[in-house]
Amino acid sequence: MSKKNIVVVGNGMVGHYYVDQLAAQQAGYNITVIGAEPRPAYDRVHLSEVFSGKNPEDLALSSRAHYESLGIKACLGEPVEKIDREAKEVITSLGRRFAYDKLVLATGSYPFVPPVPGADLPGCLTYRTIDDLGEIRAHASKGRVGVVVGGGLLGLECANALRNLGLDTHVVEFAPGLMGVQLDNGGSGMLRSMIEELGVHVHTSKATQKIVPGDAHNLRMEFADGSVLETDLIVFSAGIRPNDQLARDAGLQVGERGGITIDYHCRTSDSDIFAIGECALFGGRIYGLVAPGYRMADAAISQLGNAPLSFKGADMSTKLKLLGIDVGSIGDSHGKPLADGQAPAIFLYANDRERVYKRIVVSPDGKKLLGAVLVGDCSDYDTLLQLYLNDMELPANPEALILPADSGAPPLLSNMSLPLTATICSCLNVTKGAIVAAIDGGCCSVADVKAATKASTGCGGCAALLKSTVDEELAARGVEINNHLCEHFAFSRQELYHQIRVGELKNFAAVLDKHGKGHGCDVCKPTIASILASLWNDYVLAKEHASLQDTNDTFLANMQKDGSYSIVPRIPGGEITPEKLIVIGEVAKKYSLYTKITGGQRIDLFGARVNQLPAIWRELVDAGFETGHAYGKALRTVKSCVGSTWCRYGVQDSVGMAIRIENRYKGIRSPHKIKSAVSGCTRECAEAQSKDFGVIATENGWNLYVCGNGGMRPRHADLFATDLDDETLIRTIDRFLMFYIRTADRLQRTSVWLNNLEGGLDYLREVILDDRLGICDELEAQMALLLDTYQCEWKTTLEDPEKLQRFRQFVNSGDEDTHVVFVQERGQPRPAREEERDMALS
Amino acid sequence: MMSPSPSPNPAEIRFPRRELLDNAGVCALIDGVQVAVFYLPGETPALYALQNWDPLGRANVLYRGIVGDLNGELVVASPLYKQHFSLRTGRCLEEEDVSLPTYEIWLEDDTVIVTLRSSNLKTQEYKNA
Ligand code: SRM
Ligand SMILES: Cc1cc2nc3c(=O)[nH]c(=O)nc-3n(C[C@H](O)[C@H](O)[C@H](O)COP(=O)(O)OP(=O)(O)OC[C@H]3O[C@@H](n4cnc5c(N)ncnc54)[C@H](O)[C@@H]3O)c2cc1C
Ligand code: SF4
Ligand code: FES
């Protein structure tokens, strides 16, 4: 039997999901996807991130290679122009014909542009595709003012984009309020005042009558009330309209106001043609969100197999961040009268000072949640959504659902009360039942469950709910989810830090005696050694500490794969004199070391035998070098750009500041390594936003960014404080670092620490900038102690013959390890491969 | 790759006790074989000797590992990839079929004596007797 042809028109988010899932689930089809856009499907939901620094490529959901590997044929940049239902073929703009057995329309929608005279002038734009972004950017670069027509969800997101492009931004809305679909008047009003505080001008109840060329700016908008507004560009975001022309032309049934009519199998009026996503009309409704589109795709795919699913509509609750403001809307947010004419009960919490608005709509008997609006604080969203979706009974005092936690209201439900059918991850449609099944099947961590169910691999919005669900399920099974350091210490790193500090414990034996059991291991020993160093800053190779350290710390160098070591002298800020460069070269030559410039603006010398380390370091220390702590969980490098001293754009002395910072914090032991950088202007040549703490010069001082990370899971640092003077900058970093050292988990970089910190960045700001916990003096004093007791560990070691004893291969012989063998490559030594080594040894 | 094999008439070496490091390792070279020697004062026995060659990391580094205990078993963690080896039996806790030779070691007054005779074999003989 020959394979059946499935042709999908549209390679947007839903069309992509359909082919990707179909290829994964069912063999035996020839799959073709035809898309009008020139690039493979991308994540439209996160389009705006391109304006805050993301590359368009980062949004890709697929690639030609990915499709090829799945056996999917992709024709991109070639819209379908006609469906020939008789011949069962589609015909593209290039005149190519593709025969189908089943056809799937996933043509999405387009932005609605109101029929206003002048709406086609240059500078009148829309916001839907990556190409649109380019247009908006190009016009923005020539202007200063931008207008968004439409104060709905997409319009406000677009306003943020214009603001990020540096435009003076206006939102023009026809209706009396913003986000009228999702918010009630109160919520809408709160949102408006918050947006206005950000400098965005909001004009409501404004009908645009005409657009004409402007005087001071590119365009002039004339409104029905006689007022005018001049602007350089206008983005229309006044709603979406389904792309249903193809279907209309082919005689398929469409809705009165557009949209391809489907049944709950996602079939159109032709049973061989399906429609899914934003082009489809189900139950008189277009679903303008991606998750319902995915559910339609699931239903459409299932029609090909033996277990057909139905699409029964979808919940349109949303939670988003608009211009940095949390907004959530669940169910009927307006509180419309019920079918029997009764009015629902409304509970409201509004706090003007903290800019929080929460309103819930509850059934007249007070038992069920019908809807909710949250502005300024969405922390209750997950709980409310679950109550709503699962039709769960509310507590006797529904107001407790939205009152602040410290108001004395009783605590609310835990996940355990959620039914198994509750959806935990709506992107990937993972229910609590699926998570429970995964745990029953052997998963014992969030990571396991994620891998098994794919939950939380979409927008990520469900991460917290997933974690609490998994934790509680594990706990219910008696799996102890502890953060105990190891079998020897039933405490977290943070708890131990506290115990050691308060108990003034000075060595491992004392800590073990007081708080632990057994002998210790390679997890708790280095951790406690690091805590002891963070607190008391003793010499790490002191007799009582030496055996606790990882090999890198014991030998003050990084062990390489063959057992030899690398040497990284500190080069603060990346600045080095020619004399010192020559010393490094001479030393490398003398001891036949491989030299390489590192990613951290310094030089690494590789291939030293353990017994050579002291001699090499003696030469380096004599020439004025210090240890670079490349081996320690400590400050690594503070990268710099040349800054105002040389660079024509620099506004501050970034090298000077980088050197000051590196010298200040060098040697401090911390839960994980710490990296920093200082850039001399916003061009950011030092890449400070990828560092644990990064500093970028401004006209007025320095902006401080925190908790960035390169490495395995890159994270952009968050802007923490702006325009700091030198001393305030240093003081803020002091506090930040000490708070991290105090509270982070073992081997937790600042990025992960922040992600796990309850209250997140705002909380961190309160602690560090507003001294909410009243500990800043203590943090500064602790830092001062560490700074006072700094020593170059190599210098100290070289002065102590007993310590140098450690640096040898054999107790009873001066021989060297014959397994450490080097061969030459590109004029330098490198470790021999096994065959080469065997040859050298035989 | 050649793995060091003990000679039929096991050699031995001696060195002074002060060369040992408390709760840590040093390395002895016996007839071309590298032996990692660990000293755990207060433990019985206090001395342990195993092959220094890490068969998983493929380098002579075990004497530079951290010692401790896991589930009551005394172990050294390889400094390269952190697998644990039992100090008493040489067994690797992570890889079932990997086990290191362990050697006889003892203290006479202030002298440490290490031989290339397998300590496992001895317990074996002792048990069979
Ligand atoms: C030498 C160097 C690569 C190079 O040739 O350029 C290097 C080499 C090593 N890196 Fe790195 N990293 C080097 C720059 C980086 C950078 C770039 C940077 O610092 O700007 C990064 C990403 C930035 C970041 O950390 O956020 C980086 C991310 C990592 C990671 C992943 C960390 C993470 O949070 O995901 C590890 C693994 C770890 O630390 O757990 C790692 C670990 C290592 C280790 C220590 C692995 C090991 O245990 O043997 C490597 C041994 C160095 C040695 O033997 O001397 N290295 N490593 C760079 C030394 C910079 C320096 O002067 O100190
Ligand atoms: C800025 C922005 C922010 C958004 N934020 C969110 C959000 O936070 N949450 C959320 O759930 N949703 C959000 N959405 C909506 C979400 O992007 C859509 O629901 C989703 O993209 C719909 O997928 P789709 O495949 O149906 O349509 P689309 O992604 O629009 O894809 C349709 C594709 O079909 C192509 N096509 C059309 N006609 C033809 C033809 N004749 N031949 C070939 N190809 C054709 C189009 O070029 C397009 O590439 C946002 C949308 C935008 C624009
Ligand atoms: S960041 Fe770049 S542009 Fe700015 S001072 Fe440094 S080198 Fe110059
Ligand atoms: S809800 Fe988006 S990833 Fe789970």
Q: What domains lie within chain B, and their CATH numbers?
A: 21-118 (2.102.10.10)
Bridge-partner residues for A320, per DSSP? A327
d(CA A665, CA A790): 9
- Supply the pTM of this predicted model: 0.55
Q: What is the pLDDT of residues A361-372, one digit of tens each?
A: 999 988 899 999
Q: What pLDDT, on a 0 to 100 scale, did the predictor assign at position B8?
A: 47
Question: What would the 3-class secondary structure string for A795-822 be?
Answer: HHHHCCHHHHCCCCCCCCCCCCCCCCCE
Ligand 3: centre distance to CA A697 (Å): 9
pLDDT given at position A713: 73
The pLDDT > 70 percentage for chain A reads 97
Angle between helices A153-164 and A130-141 (to 10 degrees): 50
In whole angstroms, give the CA distance from residue A322 to residue A191: 9
Q: Which residue has the higher pLDDT, A384 or A410?
A: A384
User: Residue A829 is encoded by which pair of tokens?
Assistant: 């030594």
pLDDT digits (tens, 9 = 90+) for A699-712: 999 999 999 999 87
Q: How far is CA A753 from its chain centroid?
A: 13
Q: Residue type for A198, please?
A: L
CA separation for the pair A373, A361 (Å, rounded): 9
Give pLDDT, residue A649: 92
Strand order in the sheet with A603-608: A558-559, A565-567, A603-608, A594-597
Chain A nearest C-alpha distance from B19 (Å): 7
Q: With bands split at pLDDT 50, 70 and 90, how would you rate the model's confidence at A607? A: very high
What does the alpha-carbon distance between residue B5 and residue B118 come to, in Å, rounded to a whole number? Answer: 11
Which residues in chain A touch residue B84, judged by CB atoms under 8 angstroms apart? 522
pLDDT of residue A1 exceeding 60, the answer is no
Q: Binning pLDDT at 50, 70 and 90, where does residue A417 land?
A: low
A791-804 pLDDT tens trace: 999 999 999 988 89
Residue B45, preceding peptide bond in cis (omega within 30° of 0): yes
What is the pLDDT, as a whole number, of residue B122? 38
CB within 8 Å: A834 and B26:
no
Q: At what angle do helices A726-743 and A776-788 cross, to 10 degrees?
A: 90
Closest CB to A550 among B29, B60, B66:
B66
CB B77 to CB A521 under 8 A? yes
Q: CB distance from B74 to chain A under 8 Å?
A: yes
The separation between the first and the last C-alpha atoms of chain A, rounded to the nearest angstrom, is: 63
Q: Which of A692, A662, A690 is nearest to A675 (CA)?
A: A692
Token reading at A215: 């005087």
Work out the number of other CB atoms within 10 angstroms of the CB of residue B87: 26
| Candidates A488, A609, A809, A812, partner chain B, best to mutate (most B CBs within 10 A) | A812
Length of chain B: 129
Alpha-carbon distance A189 to A177, whole Å? 7
Bigger pLDDT: A365 or A641? A641
Cβ–Cβ of A521/B75 closer than 8 Å? Answer: yes
**Exposure of A271 by Cβ count < 10 A (0-12 exposed, 13-18 middle, 19+ buried)?**
exposed
CA atoms A621, A623, A626, A627: torsion sign: negative
Lowest mean pLDDT among A421-430, A688-697, A716-725: A421-430
Question: Are A674 and A634 in contact, with CB atoms under 8 Å apart?
Answer: yes
- Distance CA(A322)–CA(A315), nearest Å, equals 20
Q: What number of helices (H) and strands (E) belong to chain B?
A: 1, 11
| pLDDT per residue as tens digits for the range A253-280 | 999 989 999 999 999 999 999 999 999 9
Nearest chain B Cα to A807, which residue?
Answer: B26
The DSSP element (H or E) to which A32 belongs, if any, is: strand A29-35
Look at ligand 1, atom 47, and give the residue with the nearest C-alpha.
A558
Report the pLDDT value the prediction gives residue B129, as an integer from 0 to 100: 31
pLDDT at A478 over 80: no
State how beta strands A280-282 and A822-825 pair: unpaired
First to last CA, chain B: 36
User: Which residues contact residue A789 at a Cβ distance below 8 angstroms, ignoring those fewer than 6 apart?
Assistant: A537
DSSP state of A96: -
Q: Which of A110-124, A465-479, A557-571 has the lowest mean pLDDT?
A: A465-479
Whole-angstrom distance, CA of residue A12 vs CA of residue A803:
65
- What is the share, in percent, of chain B residues with pLDDT greater than 90? 59
Best-predicted range by mean pLDDT among A4-8, A41-45, A163-167? Answer: A4-8
In the predicted structure, residue A409 carries a pLDDT above the cut 60? no
Ligand 2 proximity of A259 Cβ (cutoff 6 Å): no
What span, in angstroms and rounded, lies between the C-alpha atoms of A740 and A534? 11
User: Is A280 in contact with A296 (CB distance < 8 Å)?
Assistant: yes
In 3D space, the residue among A124, A605, A184, A105 whose CA is nearest the CA of residue A373 turns out to be A184
Contact (Cβ atoms closer than 8 angstroms) between residue B39 and residue B21: yes
- Tell me which chain B residues have a C-beta less than 8 angstroms from the C-beta of A802: none
B128 confidence band (pLDDT: 50, 70, 90): very low
Q: How far is residue A706's CA from residue A692's CA, in Å, rounded to a whole number?
A: 6
Q: Whose structure tokens read 């303008």?
A: A288
What does the pLDDT look like over B3-36, one tens digit per residue?
444 444 568 899 999 999 999 999 999 998 999 9
Report the alpha-carbon distance of residue A216 to residue A197 in Å, rounded.
26
Q: What mean pLDDT is reported for chain A? A: 91
Cβ A528 vs Cβ A511: under 8 Å: yes
> Which pLDDT value is given to residue B127?
34
- Of the residues A684, A696, A702, which should be mutated to test ligand 3's pocket, given the most ligand atoms within 8 Å of the CB? A684
The mean pLDDT of A589-594, rounded to a whole number, is 96
- Cβ-based contacts under 8 A for chains A and B: 97
- pLDDT higher than 70, residue A674: yes
Q: Which run of H or of E encompasses A126?
A: strand A124-126
Place of tokens 């304006």: A51
Mean pLDDT of A280-287: 93
Q: Where are the beta strands (DSSP E) in A225-335?
A: 228-231, 233-236, 240-242, 260-261, 273-275, 280-282, 285-286, 318-322, 325-331
The confidence score (pLDDT) of residue A339 equals 81
* Of residues A647 and A382, more confidently modeled: A647
- Cα atoms in the Cβ-side hemisphere of radius 13 Å centred on A371: 19
| Position A580 pLDDT exceeds 80 | yes
Looking at residue B10, its pLDDT comes to: 67
Rounded distance, CA A748 to CA A493, Å?
Answer: 10
Q: Is the pLDDT of residue B1 over 80?
A: no
The pLDDT, as a whole number, for residue B4 is 43
Give percent of chain A with pLDDT exceeding 90: 66
Q: How far apart are CA A219 and CA A200, in angstroms?
A: 19
Contact check, Cβ <8 Å, A559/B80: yes
Top-confidence residue, B40 or A427: B40
Helix axes A13-25, A290-302, angle to 10 degrees: 30
Structure token digits, residue A245: 């022309």
Instruction: Average the pLDDT over A92-106 and give the result.
Output: 96
Q: A211: buried, middle or exposed (CB in 10 Å: 19+, 13-18, 0-12)?
A: buried
What residues does A633 pair with on adjacent strands?
none
Biggest distance spanned by C-alpha atoms of chain A: 98
pLDDT score for B3? 41
Contact present, A120 and A126 (Cβ < 8 Å): no
pLDDT, tens only, A151-209: 988 899 899 889 988 899 999 999 999 988 888 888 899 999 999 988 999 999 999 99
pLDDT at B120 over 70: no
A841 has a chain B CB within 8 A of its CB: yes
Strand spans (E) along A166-288: 168-172, 201-203, 208-213, 219-223, 228-231, 233-236, 240-242, 260-261, 273-275, 280-282, 285-286
Per-residue CA distances from A209 to A110, A115, A171, A226 (Å): 22, 9, 16, 9
Residue A109, pLDDT > 90, answer yes
Say yes or no: CB of residue A427 within 6 Å of ligand 4.
yes
DSSP character string of A173-197:
-SSSSTTTTT--HHHHHHHHHHHHH
Q: How far is the alpha carbon of B124 from chain A, nearest alpha carbon, in Å?
A: 27
Q: How far apart are CA A436 and CA A439, in angstroms?
A: 5
Confidence band of A482 (pLDDT split at 50, 70, 90): low
Helix (H) or strand (E) run with residue A579 in it:
helix A578-590
Question: Measured in angstroms, how far is the CA atom of residue A785 from the centroid of ligand 1?
Answer: 28
How far apart CA A801 and CA A819 sit, in angstroms, is 27
Chain A residue numbers with beta carbons less than 8 Å from the beta carbon of B71 are 487
Contact list, B29 vs chain A (CB under 8 Å): 809-810, 812-813, 815
pLDDT of residue A316: 85
